[in-house]
């Protein structure tokens, strides 16, 4: 394998372990063993565990961003429906995982924001990128006449994204989809109504 | 000190460390040192770190429940306003802590729900107790004519609590009060309106 491939493999296997065990609770050796890479070679690929954490965020983020782009581009008569389908896709994924894991960006945020400033800055950027996607859905819906012209799109997106993260967090505890059902009902049947 | 006092001290000091560093990242010796209790005596007070985690939840929970009771009992013309004041109190506390820490129940949830079933069960109960308090605010407001009679109080409380946790999570990342401002605006100016 090339160095680039080994690095990708370490990120992929590391992501799987961190997703369940947490960042601090995951030893560098756990990752090397899972990837089948010789002990002691971690620092050949990453300057530090901090740097690994930052690259991990770039590894997790496309799950959200690429899926959002797909639903943003999907032909539709309702971009609110597309946003709904986008969130439903995540719920399906989380159900298939028996409600284990949740949102990796949120997990890292709660664990690392107070401990590492560089990781926090990166997480802040990640949330902003995620938020911009939600804004785009709302903007398309607004242009499509589905939302009031005066709606503050950025604030609405922030509220939706944070509430969604809150529902994901709660689902880790309940191990059922109820928190997302409630999210769905309040966001899509009450908030995102053109009135 | 009595055994009971030492146990309380271990919970108090342990809570402070876990609040910042996380549960897995906090060693038993860190707690003993902070409490000035002899090394090796932890298991005299707690059967296991798991049990310590469970007692920690009981240690954190009254911050929410007792404060809720205070605002539930506070004489008022508006229980929605009391609920608002209750949340504002937390925001003040979090601001004073420079947005470090957030909600200890949420932190433990994201970290431990997938790793320890007993701790998850305890966290689930904790959230339900918190939720019941929010239901009580809404019920008093409803009886007071501030909310529609047909409002589903439990679902509304779930949505509010989860969205609040989402805002707290995001504040750990932004290190400013913006996510709570947005929460405030959507919950109190849009959702909790009698129409």
Burial (CB < 10 A; 0-12, 13-18, 19+), residue A77, is exposed
pLDDT tens digits, A118-156: 999 999 999 999 999 999 999 999 999 999 999 999 999
Q: Which helix (H) or strand (E) holds B119?
A: helix B117-143
Nearest CA to B25 among B115, B92, B89? B115
- Over residues A73-101, the mean pLDDT reads 95
For the stretch A171-192, pLDDT in tens is: 999 999 999 999 999 999 999 9
| CA–CA distance, A4 with B10 (Å, rounded to integer) | 47
pLDDT at A195: 62
pTM: 0.95
Q: What is the pLDDT of residues B57-83, one digit of tens each?
A: 999 999 999 999 999 999 999 999 999
Contact A161, A134 (CB under 8 A): yes
d(CA A171, CA B110): 10
pLDDT of res. B81: 97
- Cα–Cα distance, A111 to B55 (Å, whole number): 20
Closest-CA distance, B131 to chain A, in angstroms, reads 12
Q: What is the pLDDT of residue A4?
A: 82
- In percent, the amount of chain A with pLDDT more than 90 equals 91
Q: What is the pLDDT of residue B151?
A: 94
Grade residue A39 by pLDDT with cuts at 50, 70 and 90. confident
Q: Which of residues 67-86 of B touch A (CB under 8 A)?
A: none
The pLDDT value given to residue A136: 98
Tokens of A38: 């010789």
Chain mean position to CA B125: 12
Q: What percent of chain A has pLDDT over 70?
A: 99
Which secondary structure element, helix H or strand E, spans residue A152, and what is its range?
none
pLDDT at B40: 81
A188 at interface of B, judged by CB pairs closer than 8 A: no
Q: Which residues of chain B have pLDDT under 50?
A: none
d(C-alpha B150, C-alpha A42), whole Å? 59
CA gyration radius for chain B? 18
* Nearest alpha-carbon partner for B67 in B134, B162, B166: B134
Q: What is the pLDDT of residue B195?
A: 62
Average pLDDT, chain A: 94
**What is the chain A residue with the closest CA to B170?**
A162
Interface residue B55 vs chain A (CB under 8 A): no
The DSSP element (H or E) to which B61 belongs, if any, is helix B49-73
């Amino acid at each position: 394998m090339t160095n680039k491939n080994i690095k990708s493999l370490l990120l992929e296997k590391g992501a799987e372990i961190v997703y369940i065990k947490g960042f601090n609770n995951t030893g560098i050796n756990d990752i090397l063993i899972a990837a089948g890479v010789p002990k002691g070679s971690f620092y050949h690929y990453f300057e530090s565990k901090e740097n690994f954490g930052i690259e991990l965020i770039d590894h997790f983020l496309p799950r959200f961003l690429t899926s959002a782009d797909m639903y943003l581009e999907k032909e539709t008569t309702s971009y609110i429906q597309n946003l709904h389908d986008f969130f439903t896709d995540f719920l399906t994924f989380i159900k298939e995982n028996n409600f284990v894991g949740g949102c990796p960006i949120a997990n890292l945020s709660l664990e690392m924001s107070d401990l590492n400033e560089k990781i926090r800055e990166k997480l802040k950027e990640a949330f902003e990128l995620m938020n911009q996607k939600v804004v785009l859905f709302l903007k398309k819906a607004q242009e499509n006449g589905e939302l009031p012209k005066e709606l503050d799109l950025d604030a609405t997106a922030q509220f939706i994204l944070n509430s969604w993260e809150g529902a994901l967090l709660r689902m880790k505890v309940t191990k059922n989809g109820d928190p997302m059902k409630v999210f769905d009902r309040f966001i899509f049947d009450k908030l995102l109504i053109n009135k």
